[in-house]
Amino acid sequence: MTIWHKGAPLQDNQLCFEQEMLDRGLQYGDGFFTTLLLQQGRVVNWPAHLQRIKHSAERLKFHNFRLESLVEDFSRFVQSLEGESAEKIAVKILVTRGFGGKGYQPPPNEEQQANWLFQSMPFPQAGGVALSYFEKEASPPTWQIFPQCVTTSDVCFAQQSLLAGLKHLNRLENVLARQALIGTSFDEAIMCDTTGNCVSGTQSNLLWLKGDIVFTPDLSQSGVSGTTLPVVLELAERLGYEVEVGRFDLLEVAQADEIFFCNALRGVMPVTAWQNGEKLLQFSTEKTAKLAYHWLSWINDNQTSYLDLANDL
């Protein structure tokens, strides 16, 4: 694991204790992050992650936010990983409002100075199987998908339109939902909001197929707008599906022909089984596997070298 802080590697991967304790990200969750995939040293779907960073800083009113400086630092960080032997690496960009202020109240606008951290982590390989097992189209043997056996989470998302869609640092609902999966046989869980509408998985966006329509929950009140979700919806439309975004409860999702999740690291993940209360539902994966094939093809054509990361500013 490698960690950089403000454009330089950390000594022994440790922040200064004083800095660590006073940063508003730690004290109040005052910040946001994005997790992305490095494939053979190139950033997958970089424009979407860059837009997330910019959009998050604007919505959270980060003043004096130096996006150009962050991208310059991140370019050097990606370059530093060139010697890594792994084909795929998970990378997190974490941004906080920095230091200062009076309790919850941030510092005056002109005094705000964001902090950022870059962290590389091993790609989560566990549970991956060859795509060719599900999808018979010719594909490299290294292409994998991650079938999911899922349950319904007892943890509900609160509704808050001011924060909905953002990948902010206040992720305790997700933490509690993931904690509940420890010691079970489930890979994921479907999470609803407090009104009973489905929102997402614990660490991924939720989609399902019924006939020739791809459904996905509205995220205007809860949840995270994933960087992979718009791409998957666009690919689905290219394959002839209609897309419907709305508010749906568990009973509607249970009527699906196929269910799947998506996120930036593992892409399209088909659901094979769903333990929904006392009912165990089994699902086909044929159409989802084809969509996964098109996603993996897409990411091979949408990667950015560290030399070109600033071109999308």
In this structure, the answer to whether residues 89 and 179 fall within a common structural domain is no
In this structure, the answer to whether residues 45 and 80 fall within a common structural domain is yes
Residue 36 above 70 pLDDT? Answer: yes
pLDDT of residue 30: 97
Residue 155 lies in a domain: yes
CATH of the domain at 139: 3.20.10.10
Provide the mean pLDDT of the chain.
Answer: 92
What tens digit of pLDDT does each residue of 145-174 get?
899 999 999 999 999 999 999 999 999 999
CATH of the domain at 15: 3.30.470.10
pLDDT classification of 29: cutoffs 50, 70, 90: very high
In this structure, the answer to whether residues 170 and 252 fall within a common structural domain is yes
Q: Which residue has the tokens 């997190």?
A: 92
Last residue of a domain, one of 123, 152, 184: 123
Residues 303 and 44 sit within 8 Å (Cβ to Cβ): yes
Region 39-43 average pLDDT? 94
Residue 196 lies in a domain: yes
pLDDT of residue 127: 80
Residue 21 above 80 pLDDT? Answer: no
Percent of the chain with pLDDT over 90: 83
In this structure, the answer to whether residues 143 and 275 fall within a common structural domain is yes
In this structure, the answer to whether residues 247 and 296 fall within a common structural domain is yes
Alpha-carbon distance of 176 to 182, in angstroms, equals 10
Alpha-carbon distance of 8 to 11, in angstroms, equals 9
pLDDT classification of 12: cutoffs 50, 70, 90: low
Region 18-31 average pLDDT? 84
Last residue of a domain, one of 123, 140, 170: 123
pLDDT of residue 144: 87
Residue 220 above 60 pLDDT? Answer: yes
Residue 20 above 80 pLDDT? Answer: no
In this structure, the answer to whether residues 15 and 158 fall within a common structural domain is no
In this structure, the answer to whether residues 77 and 160 fall within a common structural domain is no
What tens digit of pLDDT does each residue of 230-282 get?
999 999 999 999 999 999 999 999 999 999 999 999 999 999 999 999 999 99
pLDDT classification of 15: cutoffs 50, 70, 90: low
In this structure, the answer to whether residues 137 and 82 fall within a common structural domain is no
In this structure, the answer to whether residues 136 and 102 fall within a common structural domain is no
Residue 75 lies in a domain: yes
Residues 231 and 44 sit within 8 Å (Cβ to Cβ): no
Residues 79 and 313 sit within 8 Å (Cβ to Cβ): no
- How many domains would you assign to the chain? 2
Q: How many angstroms separate the most distant Cα atoms in the chain?
A: 60
In this structure, the answer to whether residues 17 and 65 fall within a common structural domain is yes
pLDDT of residue 87: 86
pLDDT of residue 143: 80
In sequence order, which residues have a C-beta less than 8 Å from that of residue 184 and are 6 or more positions away?
Answer: 151
pLDDT of residue 6: 62
pLDDT classification of 137: cutoffs 50, 70, 90: low
What tens digit of pLDDT does each residue of 90-106 get?
999 999 999 999 999 99
Residue 236 lies in a domain: yes
Structural domain containing residue 293 = 129-300
Alpha-carbon distance of 313 to 99, in angstroms, equals 26
Last residue of a domain, one of 104, 123, 142: 123
Residue 307 lies in a domain: no
In this structure, the answer to whether residues 117 and 149 fall within a common structural domain is no
In this structure, the answer to whether residues 68 and 91 fall within a common structural domain is yes
